[in-house]
Structures are given as structure tokens and as C-alpha cells.
Amino acid sequence: MERLATIALGAGLFCFVLAGVLTGVLPVAHLSRIKYKTLAEIAPEPSSDFLDLAHRYPAEFTTAFGAPTTDKFHEALRFARDTYIAEACWHCHSQFTRPVSNEDVRFGKVSYAAEYMNEMFLPHLFGTRRVGPDLIRESGRHGNDWHTAHFYDPAIVVPSSVMPRYTWFYDGERPNKKALSMITYVQWLGSWATPEALARKPEVAHVAP
């Protein structure tokens, strides 16, 4: 018990591997029964918000993306996800709702494992702190114009907000690629789990717990 070999192999290797199997490999193997999907599979066409932004800010949109095609929609989502990580948005906003504390009333449908089995959640962005609200059911909660004002200076629309300004998402006061992508992204988060979407796609509801 006090020898180097016992400590290195028993405590070091064995205990680490045992815990890794029980609390890592086992849940991961269990969850891998759900099929992993690419962005093309979960978002086969541009969202209405992406098209709306193309209308609302035609010059800025053309500079950023050109035409609002499906490929450009995917590019916007991936670019926004990277921006979300770079700005560490996930330190103040979570991306999962819990079956407790009235979160289903405040945010919407409780999170289920299947909705995270796609490339947009590799890496996952669950988060561990909420200064601002959860975002996994953000889709459609506010309009695109609200988000445009909010990213520029959150206090414009939420006076008590402590969220920082993201003025580098804008050229002057006009949204650039970052703002347009971020708005597309937050409006997309949970678009698959709104009541209407769930009514349209019963198979999504089926995999929920």
C-alpha cells in the first residue's frame, strides 16, 4: 500500500480507468445508440430567420454571405458556434433545461439526449452557470431586430442586463458577419423543439424521455 508500484498502478492507473469506464465509457456507449447527425441532416434548408436577415440587411448580408443558400446557412451556424465559444458565452448561458425548478414552464420542453447528438454539440455547450437565461429554447422568443439591438448593447432592450456589449459584431452600427451569424444561431437553438416543430415531427417527441 505504500510502495511506488502499488500506488502508480493501483491508485494511479486502476482507479482512473475504473472511474473512466463507470462514469464515462458506460454513459457514452449508452448514448451512442442514438444516431449521430451532421448539420445537413438536422438543418436541410435555411431557417426563416436567416432569410429574414437577408431581407432586413441586404447589403451587409451580401458582403457576409452572398446569397442565403443552405450551405451559407450551415456556414453561419458553424461560424456562430465558434464565435460563441471564443466569447465564452457558455460561461453565462447554459444550453440545457432541467425537469426541475419550473424550467419547463420558463423555457419550454425539458432537454433530451437525442437533440444533442449532432455536430453542433461537438463540443457540447451545456454550461454550468446562468447569469443570463438558458438558450437551448431561445428560438423565436425574440425577433431578429431585438437581437440586433441586444448584441450591440444589451441595455437598450434589457435595462438591468449585465451582459457586455459586442460592438465588434458590427461595422459602425451595421451588423457584420458575426452579428448576422450569432442571430441566426440563437434563433436556431431549439427550433426543433418548439410546440409547432414537435407537432410536425412526432419522431422527435418520441425519443424524448
Q: Give 22 or 67: the residue with its C-beta nearer to other proteins.
A: 22
Least distance from C-beta 77 to other proteins, angstroms?
15
Provide, rounded to whole angstroms, the least separation between the CB of residue 14 and other proteins.
9
- In angstroms, give the least distance from the CB of 145 to other proteins: 20
Closer Cβ to other proteins, 69 or 167, answer by number: 167
Alpha-carbon torsion angle 109, 113, 115, 121, nearest 10: 120
Candidates 73, 94, 74, 96; CA nearest to 84 is 94
Residue of 43, 31, 36 whose CA lies nearest to 119: 36
C-alpha cell at 96: 440545457
Residue (59 or 100) nearer to other proteins, CB: 100
The residue among 69 and 126 lying less far from other proteins, judged by its C-beta, is 126
Least separation in angstroms between residue 51's CB and other proteins is 28
d(CA 76, CA 70): 10
Instruction: CB nearer to other proteins: give 88 or 199.
Output: 88
The DSSP code sequence of 40-96 is HHH--S--HHHHHHHHHSHHHHHHHTSS--HHHHHHHHHHHHHHHHHTTGGGT--S-
With b for 16 or more beta-carbon neighbours within 10 A and e for fewer, the 115-128 pattern comes to bbbbbbeeeebebe
Task: Write down the least CB distance from residue 79 to other proteins, Å.
Answer: 12
Q: How far is the CB of 88 from other proteins (least distance, A)?
A: 4
Q: Which is nearer to other proteins, 94 or 144 (CB)?
A: 94
